[in-house]
A = this chain, B = another copy of it.
């Protein structure tokens, strides 16, 4: 009966018709890039040109980070047991969880609370940032999204912030992200630049994504790298090998410039 039907607001399927959030798929294809369609599916509306470019750059930023993240290692390990490409990929996706990628959601929650507090209190950004840093120190918690075990100045974060500036999309969350870094530098005596999780968190806040969605967006991005990692494992390596996470080296194309 009609009243028993459950509802979905994503894609309408009828014979010879597929419409995503109302847009016929054949109009999207060839006209709207994949990254923009991801935005459409998750937010319900097509992005502005600037949002689309930022979203796309975000997806590119995290598409792969070599063979050491848990997602790549889990995917390769499952592939090594003889699983199909998508099964191995799925194990990699499921490694993206509370810690792996989780700092995006954590950082979004900090930025959302900080900006909300700023708006409700009339305090300026630096004051609110300073209070947040004090509170986290008192609770002996780290603010997620700052610092990286390897990259002291993450090229992905630098580029994302620069791009947001170029596109006129640096708003209150970008400002707050900088203010928190400055407050930490002053209070902790350490300059911890934003890592890519923090940069993505900032951009997702600027584009009004819900924090609960963040790891999913990271996983869409990383799905590209995981196919490459699993395919390489299946094509180049023998089955059932012990995969040492650190004992590997790059033997792909040498460094080159785009264009």
How near does chain B come to A69, taking the closest CB pair, in angstroms? Answer: 8
Contact B33 A56 (CB under 8 A): yes
Chain B residues lying within 8 Å of A20, measured Cβ to Cβ, are 63-64
A224 touches B64 (CB 8 A): no
Of B9, B15, B61, B259, the contact of A152 (CB 8 Å cutoff): B15
Does A171 sit within 8 A of B, measured CB to CB?
no
Q: List chain B residues, Cβ under 8 A from A230.
A: 216
Copies in the complex: 4
How many angstroms from the CA of A101 to the CA of B81 in the assembled complex? 8
- Residue in contact with A6 in the complex, picked from B6, B68, B240, B247, CB distance below 8 Å: B247
A85 touches B215 (CB 8 A): yes
Contact between A213 and B231 (Cβ–Cβ < 8 Å)?
yes
State whether the Cβ of A255 lies closer than 8 Å to any Cβ in chain B. yes
Binding stretch for chain B, among A70-78, A123-131, A132-140: A70-78
**Contact check: which of B8, B25, B151, B223 meets A155 at CB < 8 Å?**
B25
**30 A-B Cβ contacts within 8 A?**
A8-B251, A9-B251, A9-B253, A10-B67, A10-B225, A11-B66, A13-B250, A15-B152, A24-B155, A27-B257, A29-B60, A29-B156, A30-B163, A31-B258, A34-B34, A34-B59, A34-B63, A70-B77, A70-B78, A74-B77, A78-B91, A80-B99, A81-B94, A81-B97, A81-B101, A83-B97, A90-B93, A219-B223, A242-B245, A243-B245
